[in-house]
């Protein structure tokens, strides 16, 4: 019977087990990993960097599966376990692909394609059984990395892509080494050098490749999904949700001094039809906007009332363009004329699915009235029957006590100002009679509540009125002087018909929260952070305000940098390309001439990179060439040189008694090795060979003669 183990024995056994890789993977263990494991882990890290940006938009369960499969593959590599069998991977992959079809509703489209590519990459990593599979995974990673630009083309995305490309190239290089492999830092440096060598040709292709309007091929239907911004309808809560977004709607560059905040009304969509809860353009208005010809420019504005704007509009998936009230004429968009409708909406010929830039002139002063037709007047007075009876009664009482339409408008604004109305981003829910509930019950709402109720009151009192949505405000970036208008600046106001003035803008929100018009929304409404643990009230002077000011300055610098990136890189249009060619002195260039110029300059760029590399390659030394010829000759006879053998050791083995060489060949080999060692390692080698790589001709000739005798 064996004796029981002592406490010291158990402690020693536990220590040995804890030091094994099964329990602890130390830094020393990682550094001493076998080459195949370290190369595989490097590839997994590169694939993780490729997949990480896609986790921001993929379904949560796809991101979870991809992350789990990557960790599983890393665990298999570290433990040295066998890869899962195909009978397990194939049904699992088919099941997950079916789940992708159910989740996205189609086998085709951008979102479905990217989701399947991410899953295919992670599954491919689990079945890498041959060298070919490694390069398939690498090429799939390069392709999937390119799809990142579907979702973001910012500077941060570019920097992340450069880092990921460098790591992918490093992983590819690691699999190419057949002998000793340099350290990881040296391989990373080489991957960066390879990437940098491609930059000149990339820059030339970017600047000179002939550009066309639109994509080279049709995009799937979901390629422009996920856009944020104003819609063609307005219901309670729409704009208050949009006001929580700090995303940029558009940027503006003024030729003159920027107008005062109270005049920064960016006109967008005019809403005419009301169904009791939601405002829409209406079929009649939409048809008129789509079929009408170009509206004639309005009369020249008064001196000082005209302002020129260059607007860079972010993609929003809609067809309308924004401008300060009131635009003078339809601007050009990528060389095509847009439409300026009778109600001063600017309509583009296509949806805005990419960043666009256009110039527009607006009249900040009063606009001459146009004739309101009977059909238009009927549409601007229409209200759905059976809704908001108290509002109708209130409007009738105001009509009876008001001398004229202007007095009635003033009475409603006085009602908003004097009663206990509040301006909030979190209004209570409203019932069927939403306007009644707002005016006489909750009295708390955002701009869409005030504009909607005001227009309903005007129509109920017999005054034609409509809702206008757009943006109000904008902040000047102190770094580049551009005005930035954000989604949080989304706003709704009203227009009423007051003869002989015509359509007059009335903003009922200003009667309740005048600071909203003069300053940004964040200066009017308090913001809460971390679940109301921190409240930043408007005008509050505390450490949070100081921190917010610092963050605002950093954001201004970053947005100025992003605006430059958008203007000069992402917005490099055919017109800008032609302007660049004109600046270089090339006028009237078509795509054929531009292609020839691109090929010529590209050839020069490639030659400037490759020729120095070719010239810098170490030339084959004459002495080494002769020695290599001897080694090759002996290898054909079955006497190949081992890697650890130097000339002396190799020569002794060739001349051994059991060598198949003839005595004359052995004598020639002995004399060859003696002369080679003398020339290569002797005292005279430094002067005759060390710097100029040249040897006296008789020495090389003698070695070649001995080489021939060895045959």
Active site residues: 447, 491, 507
Query: Pick from 549, 544, 509: which is nearest to 530 by CA?
Result: 544
How far apart are alpha carbons 701 and 629 in whole angstroms?
14
Q: Which residue has the tokens 């306007």?
A: 435
Helix (H) or strand (E) holding 122, with range, is helix 110-125
Residues linked to residue 470 through DSSP beta bridges, in sequence order? 267, 491
Strand order, beta sheet including 346-347? 320-321, 346-347, 339-340
Q: What are phi and psi of 10, to 5 degrees?
A: -65, -40
Which residues, other chains included, contact 392 with Cβ-Cβ below 8 Å and sequence gap of 6+?
383, 460
How far apart are alpha carbons 282 and 378 in whole angstroms?
13
Distances (CA, A) of 272 to 286, 319, 321, 509, 529: 10, 18, 18, 19, 38
Q: Which residue has the tokens 């005049």?
A: 263
Q: Which residue has the tokens 């551009």?
A: 482
Residues linked to residue 358 through DSSP beta bridges, in sequence order? 311
Paired tokens of 632:
């090759």
How far apart are alpha carbons 598 and 544 in whole angstroms?
54
Which residues, other chains included, contact 333 with Cβ-Cβ below 8 Å and sequence gap of 6+?
321, 348, 349, 356, 358
- DSSP-derived 3-state class of residue 300: coil
The burial class, CB within 10 Å (0-12 / 13-18 / 19+), for 208 is buried
Which alpha helices (H) appear in 155-255, and where do they start and end? 155-176, 184-197, 199-208, 238-242
Q: How many CB atoms lie within 10 A of CB 78?
A: 17
CA angle centred on 493, ends 490 and 494, rounded to 5° = 155
How far apart are alpha carbons 173 and 138 in whole angstroms?
11
DSSP state of 694: -
Burial 235-247 (b: 16+ CB within 10 A, else e): bbbbbbebbeeee
Contact between 562 and 551 under an 8 Å Cβ cutoff? The reply is no
Q: What are phi and psi of 670, to 5 degrees?
A: -60, -45
- DSSP-derived 3-state class of residue 88: helix
Burial 16-50 (b: 16+ CB within 10 A, else e): eeeeeeeeeeeeeeeeebeeeebbbbbbbbbbbbb
- Sign (positive/negative) of CA torsion 204, 210, 214, 220? negative
How far apart are alpha carbons 138 and 46 in whole angstroms?
9
Looking at the chain, the number of H-run helices and the number of E-run strands are 27, 22
């Amino acid at each position: 019977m064996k004796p029981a183990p002592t406490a010291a024995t158990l402690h020693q056994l536990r220590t040995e087990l804890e030091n094994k890789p099964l329990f602890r993977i130390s830094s020393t263990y990682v550094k001493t990993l076998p080459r195949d494991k370290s190369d595989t882990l490097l590839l997994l890290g590169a694939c993780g960097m490729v997949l990480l940006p896609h986790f921001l938009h993929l379904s949560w369960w796809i991101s979870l599966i991809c992350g789990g499969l990557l960790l599983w593959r890393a665990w298999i590599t570290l433990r040295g376990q066998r890869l899962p069998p195909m009978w397990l991977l194939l049904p699992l992959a088919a099941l997950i692909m079916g789940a992708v079809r159910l989740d996205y509703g189609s086998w085709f489209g951008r979102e479905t394609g990217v989701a399947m590519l991410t899953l295919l990459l992670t599954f491919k990593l689990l079945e890498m059984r041959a060298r070919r599979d490694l390069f398939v995974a690498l090429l799939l990673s390069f392709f999937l990395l390119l799809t990142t630009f579907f979702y973001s083309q910012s500077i941060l995305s570019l920097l992340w892509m450069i880092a990921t490309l460098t790591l992918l190239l490093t992983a590819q290089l690691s699999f190419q080494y057949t002998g000793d492999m340099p350290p990881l830092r040296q391989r990373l440096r080489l991957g960066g050098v390879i990437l940098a060598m491609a930059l000149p040709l990339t820059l030339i292709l970017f600047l000179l490749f002939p550009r066309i309007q639109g994509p080279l091929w049709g995009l799937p239907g979901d390629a422009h999904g996920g856009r944020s911004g104003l819609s063609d309808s307005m219901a309670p809560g729409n704009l208050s949700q949009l006001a929580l977004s700090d995303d940029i709607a558009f940027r503006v560059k003024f030729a003159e001094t920027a107008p005062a905040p109270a005049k920064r009304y960016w006109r967008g969509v005019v809403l005419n039809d009301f169904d009791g809860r939601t405002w829409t353009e209406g079929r009649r208005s939409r048809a008129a906007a789509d079929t009408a010809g170009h509206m004639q420019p309005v009369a020249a504005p008064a001196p000082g009332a005209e302002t020129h704007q260059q607007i860079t509009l972010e993609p929003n998936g809609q067809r309308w363009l924004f401008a300060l009230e009131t635009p003078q004429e339809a601007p050009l968009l990528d060389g095509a004329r847009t439409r300026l409708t009778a109600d001063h909406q600017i309509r583009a010929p296509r949806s805005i699915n990419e960043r666009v830039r256009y110039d527009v002139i607006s009249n900040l002063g009063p606009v001459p009235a146009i004739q309101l037709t009977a059909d238009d007047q009927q549409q601007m007075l229409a209200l759905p029957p059976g809704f908001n009876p108290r509002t109708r009664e209130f409007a009738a009482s105001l009509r009876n006590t008001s001398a004229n339409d202007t007095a009635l408008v003033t009475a409603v604004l006085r009602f908003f100002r004097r009663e206990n109305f509040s301006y909030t981003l979190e209004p209570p829910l409203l019932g069927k009679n939403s306007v009644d509930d707002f005016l006489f019950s909750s009295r708390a709402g955002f701009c869409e509540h005030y504009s909607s109720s005001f227009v309903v009151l005007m129509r109920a009192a017999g005054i034609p009125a409509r809702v206008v949505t757009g943006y109000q405000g904008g902040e000047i970036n102190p770094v580049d002087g551009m005005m930035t208008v954000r989604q949080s600046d989304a706003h709704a106001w009203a227009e009423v018909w007051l003869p002989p003035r015509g359509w007059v803008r009335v903003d009922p929100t200003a009667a309740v929260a005048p600071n909203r018009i003069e300053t940004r929304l964040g200066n009017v409404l308090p913001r809460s952070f971390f679940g109301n643990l921190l409240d930043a009230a408007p005008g509050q002077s505390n450490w949070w305000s100081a921190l917010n000011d610092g963050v605002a300055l950093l954001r201004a610098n970053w947005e100025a940098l992003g605006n430059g990136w958008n203007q000069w890189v992402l917005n490099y249009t055919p017109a800008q390309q032609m302007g660049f060619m004109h600046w270089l002195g090339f006028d009237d260039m078509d795509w054929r001439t531009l292609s020839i110029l691109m090929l010529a300059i590209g050839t020069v760029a490639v030659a400037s990179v490759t020729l120095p590399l070719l010239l810098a390659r170490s030339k084959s030394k004459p002495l080494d060439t002769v020695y290599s010829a001897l080694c090759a000759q002996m290898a054909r006879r079955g006497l190949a040189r081992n890697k650890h053998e130097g000339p002396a050791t190799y020569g002794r083995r060739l001349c051994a008694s059991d060598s198949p060489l003839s005595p004359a060949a052995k004598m020639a080999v002995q004399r060859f090795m003696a002369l080679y060692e003398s020339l290569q390692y002797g005292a005279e080698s430094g002067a005759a060979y060390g710097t100029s790589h040249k040897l006296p001709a008789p020495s090389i000739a003698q070695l070649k003669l001995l080489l021939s005798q060895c045959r």
